[in-house]
Amino acid sequence: MRTLTNRAILLDRGTQLSTGLSSEVLLEYRRLLHREESKYFSQLAKEVAAHADATRDINQTPTAPAKIEISANAETPAVEETSPSRTDKLSFGEGEAEVENVELFTASGERSNAFNPGDKIRVRVNCKVNKDINHINVGIRIRNKEGVKIYSWGTLNQDMYVRFHQLKDPQFWEREFKAGERFYVDMEFECTLGTNLYEIQAAISYEGTPNYFSQRILHWRDEAAFFHVNVLRDEYFFGGILDLKMTAEW
């Protein structure tokens, strides 16, 4: 949809929820899916709790519940309404942890947003923990300016490789995080991309199992960072979105 359309409409059971740029409507669609998923798990938790209460010692005499009175004349403190920032509009999630920002570095450790094919690119995802949590995954997605998804990867991908090959390397999924803790994850790759402008989307998710089968988005952030790749025509030239590193023989 990002590639083939400029504008889109989001409908939910016949009701128009959003209209605008395709990228913005797709983000709203992901927000909708997130809300529906959260609602489902919240209702499921209530049903499990209710069932547990009903089956816990059925012979116990229940005590009278405390009476709660609500005054119709009670004044509700005014809440100042503020317009969401652009960052808020480009993100969503349950909030136990969040992506604060994303930085790009060269192989020598210098900040940069311009690279050439063959360069090492290090993507640093800076995160903040708002609630004690474990079993998380920090990941990124790279898109070109046409909206085509080029690549996605996260710490869980590396953990899955470690598990499959029974390596002794530490696994990020097994780490424990405390509320208030700040940390970052560096992801490094060799640039094989063609000339274009690229967007990095970043996310933190809770993974109930170490295989992407049970995922909750804690924070998703569109447009977390941008970078440009420029092919050096005289030095190393190729066409397309990706360098396949072909060779010729004759």
Tell me the CATH number at 97: 2.70.50.60
Better-scored residue on pLDDT, 148 or 153? 153
Same domain, 95 and 178: yes
> What is the spatial distance between Cα 138 and Cα 148, in angstroms, rounded to a whole number?
21
Model pLDDT, residue 35: 66
Q: Is 144 among the domain residues?
A: yes
Q: Is 250 among the domain residues?
A: no
DSSP one-letter string for 159-174: HHHHHHTT--S--GGG
Domain count, the chain: 2
Same domain, 14 and 137: no
The set of long-range contacts for 230-233, using a CB threshold of 8 Å and a minimum separation of 24, is: 230/114, 230/115, 230/116, 230/195, 231/116, 231/117, 231/194, 231/195, 232/116, 232/117
Model pLDDT, residue 216: 93
The mean pLDDT of the chain is 83
Give which of 164, 169, 177, 185 is closest to 206, Cα–Cα. Answer: 177
Q: What is the helix (H) or strand (E) element at residue 104, kind and residue range?
A: strand 97-105
Give which of 151, 126, 122, 150 is closest to 138, Cα–Cα. Answer: 126
Q: Is 77 among the domain residues?
A: no
The whole domain housing 203 covers 90-245
Sign of the alpha-carbon dihedral angle for 185, 186, 192, 195: positive
Model pLDDT, residue 59: 54
CA separation, residue 141 to residues 6, 46, 128, 151 (Å): 21, 34, 19, 6
Q: Is 72 among the domain residues?
A: no
Do residues 131 and 206 touch, judged by C-beta distance below 8 A?
no
Same domain, 155 and 228: yes
Q: Is 78 among the domain residues?
A: no
Q: Is 109 among the domain residues?
A: yes
| Segment 47-61 mean pLDDT | 58
Same domain, 2 and 119: no
Same domain, 153 and 219: yes
Q: Is 53 among the domain residues?
A: no
Same domain, 36 and 96: no
Same domain, 40 and 146: no
Task: Please name every residue paired with 12 in a beta bridge, in sequence order, or none if there are none.
Answer: 15
Give which of 210, 217, 100, 105 is closest to 155, Cα–Cα. Answer: 210
Q: Is the pLDDT of residue 11 over 70?
A: yes
Same domain, 2 and 103: no
Same domain, 110 and 39: no
Give which of 161, 141, 139 is closest to 152, Cα–Cα. Answer: 141
Better-scored residue on pLDDT, 52 or 166? 166
Q: Is 66 among the domain residues?
A: no
Model pLDDT, residue 22: 75
Do the bridges between strand 15-21 and strand 182-190 make them parallel or antiparallel, or are there none, so unpaired? unpaired
Same domain, 40 and 108: no
Same domain, 126 and 232: yes
| Phi, psi dihedral angles at 76 (to 5 degrees) | -90, 125
pLDDT digits (tens, 9 = 90+) for 193-239: 999 999 999 999 999 999 999 999 999 999 999 999 999 989 999 99
Same domain, 108 and 217: yes
Q: Whole-model pTM above 0.75?
A: no
